Structure 1
Amino acid sequence: MDDLAIADFVKEMRKKFGLTQVDLADKSGVGLRFVRELEQGKQTLRMDKINQVLRLFGRQVGAVSIADE
């Protein structure tokens, strides 16, 4: 997932489950500012905090292997 795809995914899932940004911040244990920056696609966010949010939706980001070309 690129930064925008993560942002779009989080926003879509938040709305699907009827959560406000405040709800999402509270349930995931991150700050409201972090949720706003995540949904805006900010590129310099901490991966551990991104995973805290994504964990609510059964997802996570991390290193993946890439097949040699």
Structure 2
Amino acid sequence: MIPIDSTQALGAALRAARKQLGLTQADLALAAVVGVRFVVDLEAGKPSVRLEQVLRVIDALGGRVQLDGLADAPTPAEPTRHGA
């Protein structure tokens, strides 16, 4: 698990994952059904990105979001996939 405490940390983690998979920003944008500019801004740590698109990028990279330290809440039986 990668601790994320800022938009810059999220962007760096997603950039590293993309590069590890051998994807270009254009490849990732196509897989996540977002624009290349969105991927560029996300990797740069731009704070005003859309959550739905962020989740699609994470999904396209094979990741998922988990929250720690919050009050227990019921979890869905199956995780929701935001990709294509």
SS of 1:24's equivalent in the other structure is: helix
**51-60 or 11-20, which moves further after superposition?**
51-60
Aligned length: 65
Deviation by residue 1:29-57 (Cα, 9 ceiling, x = unmatched): 10000000001000000111100000122
SS of 2:46's equivalent in the other structure is: coil
| Corresponding position of 2:48 | 44
Does the CA contact (< 8 Å) of 1:3 and 1:41 recur in 2? yes
Deviation by residue 1:3-25 (Cα, 9 ceiling, x = unmatched): 11110111000000000000000
| Alignment partner of 1:59 is 2:67 | no
Q: When the two structures are superposed, what TM-score results if normalisation uses the length of structure 1?
A: 0.84
Unmatched 5+ residue regions in structure 1? none
Which structure features the higher share of helix residues?
1
Change (3 A) 1:24 1:42: same
Task: State the alpha-carbon separation in 1 of the partners of residues 8 and 21 from structure 2.
Answer: 20
Q: Report % sequence identity.
A: 35
Task: State the alpha-carbon separation in 2 of the partners of residues 30 and 53 from structure 1.
Answer: 8
Looking at CA atoms only, which structure, 1 or 2, has the larger radius of gyration?
A: 2
Task: State the alpha-carbon separation in 1 of the partners of residues 52 and 64 from structure 2.
Answer: 12
| Corresponding position of 2:37 | 33
Q: When the two structures are superposed, what TM-score results if normalisation uses the length of structure 2?
A: 0.70
